[in-house]
Structure 1
Amino acid sequence: MTRLFGRFLAAAFVVLAFALPAAAQTKQEAENMLYLDTAYGRVVIKLRPDLAPKHVARIKELTRTGFYNGVPFHRVIAGFMAQTGDPTGTGTGGSGQKLAAEFSSTPFTRGVVGMARASSPDSADSQFFIMFDSTPSLNGQYTVVGQVVSGMEFVDKIKKGSGASGTVSNPDKIVKMQVAADAK
């Protein structure tokens, strides 16, 4: 009986040893995932703090305050990207906190999430964009903060703008954005 109990304890220890790191990893993954809900469905974005720790921290901070809820996709260019993050909807607003560039060698391909900025590399604030397609001219010029891991079909449905600027009249909006670790 003692031998059987000893084997049971050993097996339980092995299971626990593997389960705890997996649970910690799942929590860490949830801390670096965003749920961006649109009228079409949920877009899941895996954040990349390994590439842009300050930008990722700021996006999570703003998300947790509800900053992005109801914010329009004010600039959407077919075959290029959908931009949001300006509560004024004009493309000139933000949170009021500029961030220094955190450029990387990660290419701007379909589903990549990057930080919008003005002409200064150190002018990113709260606005970000999701790529519809690859655009090599952005590589090394804008900060990559994440990658859409599911729901890209919902990004594709976002109302497109007109003209070269992609300004959208009566734009689609972010219904709700939350850090996955906080989701209920």
Structure 2
Amino acid sequence: MSADLENTLYLELKDGRVTIALRPDLAPNHVARIKELVRDGFYDGLKFHRVIEGFMAQTGDPRGDGTGGSGQKLDAEFNDEPHVRGTCSMARAQNPNSADSQFFICFDDARFLDGQYTVWGAVTEGMEHVDAIKRGSQSQNGTVKDPDKIVSIRVAADAD
């Protein structure tokens, strides 16, 4: 099995496939946990509950409102990778060690997040499908009415 396929995710959205290159060199524990959750089918069907135009699309909460997770907190693995268009990074609460299963994909550069959130991957193909995710209300901090969902996520090495 190719290491490239083991460190690649296929994120299926309503408009098509997004390929994400995982970065275990930057965040080995986060990448391992994300792959575990992906292989368990945890993310399949989850909503993009917070989507802010010009900023990011956030998902990974089984409750669908930004208050839930898988129940396993991760210690921060902050790194020097910049938050730019296509960056995949962990969402968290105020506590740096509170990341769980929620993550976001940057629509545009968000360099003000650099060094404060764990970057674990980047979109390498299909960013146009991320761009098509339904946006939320600016006045409601990106809360989305009738949000788009993840169809499925698979580790490429496991894909048919």
- Return the alpha-carbon distance in structure 1 between the equivalents of residues 93 and 75 of structure 2: 12
Aligned position for 1:31? 6
Percent identity over paired residues: 65
Residue 58 of structure 1 aligns to a residue in which SS? helix
- Return the alpha-carbon distance in structure 1 between the equivalents of residues 138 and 115 of structure 2: 26
Provide the TM-score with structure 1 as the length reference.
Answer: 0.85
Residue 166 of structure 1 aligns to a residue in which SS? coil
The correspondence of residues 44-83 of structure 1 with structure 2, limited to 5 A, is 44-83=19-58
- 1:34 CA drift (Å): 0.4
- The one-letter code matched in structure 1 to 2:30 is H
Aligned position for 2:82? 107
Aligned position for 2:142? 166
The correspondence of residues 152-163 of structure 1 with structure 2, limited to 5 A, is 152-163=127-138
Residue 153 of structure 1 aligns to a residue in which SS? helix
Q: Which runs of 5+ in 1 are unaligned?
A: 1-23
- Return the alpha-carbon distance in structure 1 between the equivalents of residues 62 and 11 of structure 2: 15
Alpha-carbon RMSD:
0.7
Aligned position for 2:95? 120
> Which structure carries more helix by proportion?
1
- 1:68 CA drift (Å): 0.4
Of the two, which has the highest radius of gyration? 1
Instruction: Count matched residues.
Output: 159
- 1:47 CA drift (Å): 0.3
Aligned position for 2:152? 176
- 1:135 CA drift (Å): 1.0
- The one-letter code matched in structure 2 to 1:112 is T
Q: Which runs of 5+ in 2 are unaligned?
A: none
> Which structure carries more strand by proportion?
2
Structure with higher RCO (Cα < 8 A, 6+ apart) = 2
- 1:163 CA drift (Å): 2.2
Over 2 Å off, 4+ runs: none
Provide the TM-score with structure 2 as the length reference.
Answer: 0.98
- Return the alpha-carbon distance in structure 1 between the equivalents of residues 110 and 21 of structure 2: 20
Residue 93 of structure 1 aligns to a residue in which SS? coil
1:97 aligns with 2:44: no
- 1:136 CA drift (Å): 1.2
- Return the alpha-carbon distance in structure 1 between the equivalents of residues 147 and 62 of structure 2: 12
- 1:70 CA drift (Å): 0.1
